[in-house]
């Protein structure tokens, strides 16, 4: 009777030694969403052992309807529906906030910032619009047209506690602020309409 040669179990690699070929370790119940890594174990996708810069989660909020906000000079008001409550997956997570919006006003210049738990966090960020000039960091110049642009910032909570991020707006003058529409929007089919979106990326 012949001899049956059985393959050995594979051994995983380390930071200093190579692994060896062999039989794949048996997955256990509950491992159906895991993958076999180079260390020879079944691991969570994006879990422990991930490298810096790996995407942990993605959140988004969309606003397609129009709204009007009465803004008091230099006092921040919430942009409706542009908020999200998040629980970090890790104490080391960083969050990239990106708000792309369509906003107009009647007087002054608009300033749009991110707030976390009602505290401003935006100190400097990139702003792009169709306007030929930008009067200061993160400022939308006030006219009677819809302005499309975006702001972005990075937030590092250094905690796994829940927090709420909001997008808020203020103006250098008392003004009505129109989200996703113009001051002249009378629900006519010829009126300009846009949309706004808040995207949040959690990165480890």
d(CA 143, CA 1): 92
DSSP assignments along 74-90, one per residue: T--EEEEEEEEEE--SS
Q: For residue 88, tell me if it sits in a domain.
A: yes
Strands (E), 37-93: 42-43, 55-63, 67-71, 77-86
The tens place of each residue's pLDDT in the chain, 204 residues long, gives 555 556 677 787 787 888 777 667 777 887 767 777 777 787 776 544 444 567 788 888 888 788 888 999 889 999 988 899 999 988 888 999 988 877 777 777 778 888 999 888 764 333 334 333 333 333 444 444 556 667 888 889 988 899 999 988 888 889 888 888 766 666 655 556 677 889 999 988
In order of 22, 65, 173, 189, 196, the CA distances from 193 in angstroms are: 61, 9, 24, 9, 10
Each residue of 78-110: b (16+ CB within 10 Å) or e? Answer: ebbbbebebebeeeebbbebbbbbbbbbbebbb
For the CA atoms of 156, 159, 163, 169, the dihedral, rounded to the nearest 10 degrees, stands at -20
Tokens 């369509």 — which residue? Answer: 102
Residue span of the structural domain in which 88 resides = 55-203
Q: How many domains are contained in the chain?
A: 1
Q: For residue 94, tell me if it sits in a domain.
A: yes
Task: Supply the pLDDT for residue 183.
Answer: 65
CATH code, domain carrying 88? 2.60.120.1340
d(CA 80, CA 67): 8
Q: For residue 90, tell me if it sits in a domain.
A: yes
Q: For residue 32, tell me if it sits in a domain.
A: no
Q: For residue 72, tell me if it sits in a domain.
A: yes
Q: For residue 29, tell me if it sits in a domain.
A: no
Task: Supply the pLDDT for residue 53.
Answer: 64
Task: Supply the pLDDT for residue 90.
Answer: 86
Q: For residue 135, tell me if it sits in a domain.
A: yes
């Amino acid at each position: 009777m012949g001899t049956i040669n059985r393959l050995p179990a594979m051994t995983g690699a380390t930071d200093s030694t190579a692994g060896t070929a062999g039989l794949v370790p048996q997955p256990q119940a509950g491992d159906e969403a895991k993958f076999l890594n180079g260390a020879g174990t079944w691991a969570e996708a994006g879990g422990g052992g991930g490298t810096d810069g790996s995407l942990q989660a993605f959140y988004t909020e969309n606003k397609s309807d129009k709204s009007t906000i009465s803004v008091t000079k230099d006092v921040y008001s919430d942009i409706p529906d542009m908020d999200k409550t998040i629980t970090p997956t890790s104490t080391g997570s960083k969050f990239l906030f990106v708000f792309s919006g369509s906003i107009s006003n009647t007087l002054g210049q608009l300033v749009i910032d991110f707030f976390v738990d009602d505290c401003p966090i935006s100190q400097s960020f990139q702003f792009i619009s169709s306007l030929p000039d930008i009067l200061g960091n993160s400022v939308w110049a006030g006219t009677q047209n819809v302005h499309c642009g975006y702001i972005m910032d990075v937030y590092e909570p250094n905690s796994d506690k829940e927090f709420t991020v909001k997008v808020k707006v203020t103006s250098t003058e008392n003004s009505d602020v129109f989200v996703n529409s113009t001051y002249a929007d009378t629900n006519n089919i010829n009126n300009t309409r846009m949309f706004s979106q808040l995207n949040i990326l959690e990165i480890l």
